[in-house]
Structure 1
């Protein structure tokens, strides 16, 4: 099927199911699907909340090879993550960003600060908090002083008061940081 903007907007405007996701992924992945992939990408920024969230959800189902197509769009994805009012979309965008490399020469301090603040905020949803913890590590791992700051921050978080998912992410990151410091 040829996925034009109109067709994709219509498909994504309602509830989508696994078969819809698989069909759209199949049509948009690979080099033959680059036009449809670009159309789907544009819908990440749609004013309709459901369309934008569904577009992000489909991108989270891309295989690792096709996910590389998003690498050069990292700054746009970060900007959208920082500004979206939708926690669902933010969680999906953070998931996409976690699948990307964070080279040291492209460190965005605004995104690093965002991730630090979200992992410490009691108002942040558990999934977003956990993703931000992992993304903080991905951004800090190239810089010894930032790794130290992350480790100190994680150690300050009282595990008895953390939800299970956040507690597990904290424990796993502390193990990684411990190995790296030895």
Structure 2
């Protein structure tokens, strides 16, 4: 069965996302698929496309590096939390270089990792991405640690507490 917007609009299961991934893998066109569907204005289509892409191995997703900035823009601009989380998940899997640092994205990650209103999955992804961006500059790492120290940790879910602790203990890389 061919991948179409209509099909992506109707896929709501883990098995369906795995099928989408297997079909993308068979065609070997992760970039073309992402460009065609991951930025769709229909959030259900974009969500399912991104969900299928999250099943890919890091090396398979590496071809998405050319749309790295578009993925960041989508993560920062979408109002759909599922699309945001899945997009951040893909960004987190991509190799990040010092030249890739975008201060607007770093600010976004700082804001969303401490926001109590944000979903824990988005908070943890933002914390991981902020950490990765800050590793390029010691002064940014100091700012990250100060921000983490200032968190009123009792208000956060266990996943946030655990990741925060791992960063402080040097066990997160």
2:22 aligned partner: 26
CA shift for structure 1 position 94 = 0.7
2:129 aligned partner: 135
> 5 Å matches for 1:30-179?
32-34=27-29, 37-176=31-170
Cα contact 1:134–1:173 (8 A) shared by 2: no
CA shift for structure 1 position 40 = 4.3
Q: TM-score, normalised by structure 2?
A: 0.90
Structure 1 stretches lacking a partner, 5+ long: none
- How many residue pairs align between the two structures? 173
Tell me the distance in 1 between the aligned counterparts of 2:17 and 2:120.
25
Which structure is larger by alpha-carbon Rg, 1 or 2? Answer: 1
Cα contact 1:104–1:139 (8 A) shared by 2: yes
CA shift for structure 1 position 52 = 0.8
Tell me the distance in 1 between the aligned counterparts of 2:34 and 2:143.
38
CA shift for structure 1 position 161 = 2.6
CA 151–46 in structure 1, closer or farther in 2 if over 3 Å, else same: same
Tell me the distance in 1 between the aligned counterparts of 2:8 and 2:124.
27
CA shift for structure 1 position 39 = 3.3
- SS for the counterpart of 2:96 is coil
Is 1:9–2:5 an aligned residue pair? Answer: yes
Tell me the distance in 2 between the aligned counterparts of 1:22 and 1:106.
30
CA 121–27 in structure 1, closer or farther in 2 if over 3 Å, else same: same
CA shift for structure 1 position 120 = 1.8
Per-residue deviation, residues 65-107 of structure 1 (Å, max 9, x unmatched): 2111112211010011111010011000111111112211221
